[in-house]
Structure 1
């Protein structure tokens, strides 16, 4: 057999190097560029002749090629934030006779979107397979287990699938009871840190004089205990201004240190408004809000009401050893008409209380807590003809039912009428 390697001319090798990978770079032991292909230069908007001989950090933003040589370990499929987007890169030290003489880097995904979706799907599937065979379930929330198909919830879920594999800080904002903690847990579970610690610190319940120690103490501080994992700072707006300054400093230094902790922030207050009133530091706000997730309140996602109600009833049945629990249609109308200031958490606690107040399997209006029953927004007219009052009330009830049950068959069932009757009424009122 011929020595086919010897047949490769310099011209052929150059073609292979230019086409074997989409983008790649080779550096020497001083991290100066020895070779970079034309496509990468085109993306970086530099001329190859100008890039050759330059320190790689002066040509490629956020590169870690020099760090790979310092560690002496390959960095495979690592997220690399460059020119406004995340990509996947391989970085490998080059070793000759036991000595590191340089490093080779290649970009293996130029568009992270499809990879993130695939990664999140594969990760969730493998976790469920592991749980099935082990007979145990992780106590952290899976994204797929968060109930809701309304546009607002779908938007949040899609964003989480995109950003979970990255190191970006995330702000999760939402009213009390919207489930911010569950969304934070799902981000951690879909990340490559899921086998590392997930720690939480509620900034609203710790004394402010102890907050700095809780966070930054070298032995007991949460940012160090969560190294290589994720730290969730709940109700971050409650931190005192001096502690916010220390947090900002840590975030800046963390990029260059080996602590490597990912920070997630949640708040039931609008941080932008708190910045305008001086309660929250503007520089910290802009430092952490690169990814902003707004969890919609229950009153703005009533399309999910029937899903949530069924899920919670089933969950309560399992917890209490009950079977066949049903919500009376009249009862359901009252629940739909309530504003739910405590959101999903309040709905669950209300249904649980109703089950305790019910001897049989049918949850009636008698089991509704008084504050919910009296605060429901059922129309009460004080003047006008009886016919007009009844018509206005009927319109409001129909609109509420359709908001809670987009499926008209379910809406008719909840109202205790036939589907044909429902269609007649919708036609009558042009709904």
Structure 2
């Protein structure tokens, strides 16, 4: 009974229930619908007037509401398949005067994808808690999206994309230049996924000699070859079972190994060297490269069938020069990080230094920036980083310099034009329209030149 002290209580409660994020249904002791909120009716393609008085099984597919109304046993977080979607449903009996008079049902997440995405979102916020950090150390993954310091809209969009894809088991191919932080994104995807408590195993395909890579990835049985470890050895894929394997520098893998890897990915099983049995795998695969795989496919140096297998979800990490809005955020972070490690106090960085950093091309991306900040902190004579402490090679770089590999005036002019475009775009923090305005060229000309020099 509603309290008379609140004259609008009935209207408030009805509004809340009708607009609740969850879907709601109430049945009587016989399983007949007493109430069903508008959102649930809309999903089931019925009206509230139609459903009231009907048995719940006539309206909701695979329902158990009538069973709960009879047994009095509540059912929490039960999967229910309705109209092509799995729902996560709660069913709670209603008692009055010591007997069951009905049941109350809710759907908190409208399908399992929605639940997974919410789970990823929660994990993202939990990543700052110490207990979660300890878990990361056990599984092998240690970086989260919180470790990717940025301020640009591009990176914000990329992080949101990572949160949405983490919930899936699809293969991810991370593209980007060296030093852009591809590995940090691989760690983050794993830790935001339902596999976060499983192992995270990383392999640098370019750092392991080809003759050893097969045994490293797939393992071997006892006596498989001369020098084999007694008892055999588990490969990286087996070690990653139930979790994620991260294959870095996948573009450096030989064609011979590409064939073997493709078979493992297709069959979802691995056969150790020297073995006569296959081992089933449950592994999510994340790969990364800085090499142009499309060009390698044209020259038959990378298999197209493997490419399509590993690039179900492509992620591109932009170079630092294309997201200069992140520069100051990164500089502050690296100053704090290096200062804590070295014990040297730095209170500020001179504006001339920041201007120089904005003008630099950043071939080595984030990794190069961290190295430059570390060097500057060591070389700073006071608690302020000045130009004197900055490495010489990044200061006063000419538009054209003698170490450029060009053979003609045409090439030199093209290189000079490219460098001018890069510096002007950097100056305006990636705003290409402002850069075009400063250079007094049309917007269409700017985009033609950007495409010409591959500056997208």
RMSD (Å) for aligned C-alpha atoms:
4.2
**2:264 equivalent to 1:250:** yes
Which of 7, 11, 15 is the aligned partner of 2:58?
Answer: 15
CA pair 205-397 structure 1, distance change in 2 beyond 3 A: closer
Is the contact between residue 304 and residue 404 of structure 1 (CA under 8 Å) also seen in structure 2?
no
Q: Which residue of 1 aligns with 2:76?
A: none
**1:283 CA displacement:** 0.5
Q: Which moved more, 1:251-260 or 1:222-231?
A: 251-260
Deviates more, 1:267-276 or 1:278-287: 267-276
Aligned residues: 320
**Equivalent in 286, 292, 303 of residue 264 of structure 1:** 286
CA deviation after TM superposition for structure 1 residue 119, in Å: 1.8
Alpha-carbon displacement from aligned partner over 1:79-130 (angstroms, at most 9, x marks no partner): xxxxxxxx7578xxxxxxxxxxxxxxx9964483x54542222112334334
Alpha-carbon distance in 2 for matches of 1:107, 1:243: 46
Q: Which residue of 2 aligns with 1:298?
A: 320
TM, length-normalised to structure 1: 0.64
Cα distance in structure 2, aligned partners of 1:214 and 1:165? 28
Show the counterpart of 1:273. 295
Partner residue, 1:236:
250
8 A Cα contact 2:175 2:289, kept in partner: yes
CA gap of 1:344–1:251, structure 2 versus 1, over 3 A, is: same
Give the drift of 1:397.
Answer: 8.9
Q: Is 2:187 aligned against 1:161?
A: no
2:429 aligns with one of 390, 395, 403: 403
Q: Look up the match of 1:429.
A: none
C-alpha distance in 1 between matches for 2:322 and 2:208: 32
The answer to whether residue 358 in structure 2 is matched with residue 336 in structure 1 is: yes
For residues 134 and 240 of structure 1, the distance between their equivalents in structure 2, rounded to whole angstroms, comes to 37
Structure 2 CA distance for partners of 1:215 and 1:302, relative to 1, 3 Å = same
Structure 2: gaps (5+ residues): 1-27, 34-53, 65-79, 89-106, 221-232, 271-278, 402-421, 432-437, 439-456
- Of 163, 169, 172, the residue aligned with 1:170 is 172
For 1:133 and 1:269, the matched residues in 2 are separated by 32
Gaps of 5+ in 1: 22-36, 44-86, 91-105, 380-395, 406-425, 427-431
Whole-angstrom CA distance in 1 between matches of 2:59 and 2:365: 59
Residue correspondence of structure 1 range 43-54 to structure 2 within 5 A: none
1:98-117 alignment, distance < 5 Å:
109-110=110-111, 112=113, 114-117=114-117
Residue 345 of structure 2 corresponds to 323
Q: CA deviation at 1:168?
A: 0.7
- In structure 2, relative to structure 1, the CA distance for the partners of 1:233 and 1:335 (3 Å cut) is same
Separation of aligned partners in 1, 2:193 and 2:156:
19
TM-score by length of 2: 0.61
1:18 match: secondary structure: coil
Q: Cα–Cα, structure 1 residues 369 and 170, in superposed 2: closer, same or farther, change >3 Å?
A: same
